[in-house]
Amino acid sequence: MTPQKSTVDEIRARFDADVDRFSNLETGQSATVDATLAMSLVAQAAALTTPQAQSVLNIGCGAGNYTLKLLEYLPGVNASLVDLSRPMLDRAVERISSKTSGSVEPIQSDIRDLALADEHYDIILAAAVLHHLRSDDEWNCVFRTLFRTLRPGGSLWIFDLVESSIPAVQAMQWHRYGEYLTSFRDDTYRDHVFAYIDREDTPRPLMFQLDLLRQVGFTRTDILHKNSCFAAFGAVK
């Protein structure tokens, strides 16, 4: 039987209490593999692919790391920041406002509930957030929304936890991830991370997501990086 997953309110409460860990631009998210590399690749790819960008939508923005990294390449871009957690948004606004001459708009919302204007953004960033989607219908709906709100030529860039569609490979990757977490801190930390992933997350395979991006209308997709059960990838409208 599939275990009961955390509610949105439960996920929000965990992130409300974890702002400091997500506020380090040098380490990124410590529980993810190659966090700083992926952040740099995503920011550079977004800036090079959409060099005339004037607006970015960062969903699941956390404390703002990905937008801050993008501003190193596209200073002055207007930033709309979406997150469940008000403390995360407050920290993100504080950090980003001092680094950009553009506007900074915080939006406390679940991406599944957010009404977004058509062809409004040049770049969308989504780091370690989409794995909270549940059913295939939710994945389809959110990807269609992201496609619709991008301007023609705009780009979407994702870094996230992914599954393997091959059970033996999934077991291998999960074991490798466990070794990474233990080496980063200890077995207790590994067990803590595995426990909240089990409660909160429903990731999909990388190929599922790339196929879905093409199905909803993106013309080009690419993989920036994949290591163990984490991948950075993107698509252009």
Task: Write the pLDDT tens digit of every residue in 69-128.
Answer: 999 999 999 999 999 999 999 999 999 999 998 999 999 999 999 999 999 999 999 999
Structural domain contains residue 22: yes
Structural domain contains residue 28: yes
User: 204: helix, coil or strand?
Assistant: coil
Structural domain contains residue 173: no
Residue 24: pLDDT band by 50, 70, 90 thresholds?
A: low
Identify the CA nearest to 131 among candidates 111, 105, 104. 111
Condensed to tens digits (0 to 9), the pLDDT of residues 170-207 reads: 999 999 999 999 998 999 999 999 998 999 999 999 99
**Integer Cα distance of 126 and 116 in angstroms:** 15
Residue 1: pLDDT band by 50, 70, 90 thresholds?
A: very low
Q: Do 87 and 16 touch, CB atoms closer than 8 A?
A: yes
pTM: 0.94
Range 39-54 burial, b when 16+ CB lie within 10 A, else e: bbbbbbbbbebbeebe
Residue 26, pLDDT score: 63
Query: Which CATH number fits the domain that encloses residue 111?
Result: 3.40.50.150
Condensed to tens digits (0 to 9), the pLDDT of residues 147-169 reads: 999 999 999 999 999 999 999 99
**Integer Cα distance of 150 and 69 in angstroms:** 20
Q: Which domain holds residue 60?
A: 8-162+203-236
Q: Do 50 and 64 touch, CB atoms closer than 8 A?
A: no
Mean pLDDT in residue range 29-38? 89
Structural domain contains residue 210: yes
Neighbours of 201 (CB within 10 A): 19
Q: Maximum distance among all alpha carbons in the chain?
A: 51
Structural domain contains residue 15: yes
Structural domain contains residue 197: no
Condensed to tens digits (0 to 9), the pLDDT of residues 108-119 reads: 999 999 999 999
Structural domain contains residue 3: no
Condensed to tens digits (0 to 9), the pLDDT of residues 45-71 reads: 999 999 999 999 999 999 999 999 999
Residue 28, pLDDT score: 58
Domain count, the chain: 1
**Integer Cα distance of 217 and 227 in angstroms:** 27
Structural domain contains residue 143: yes
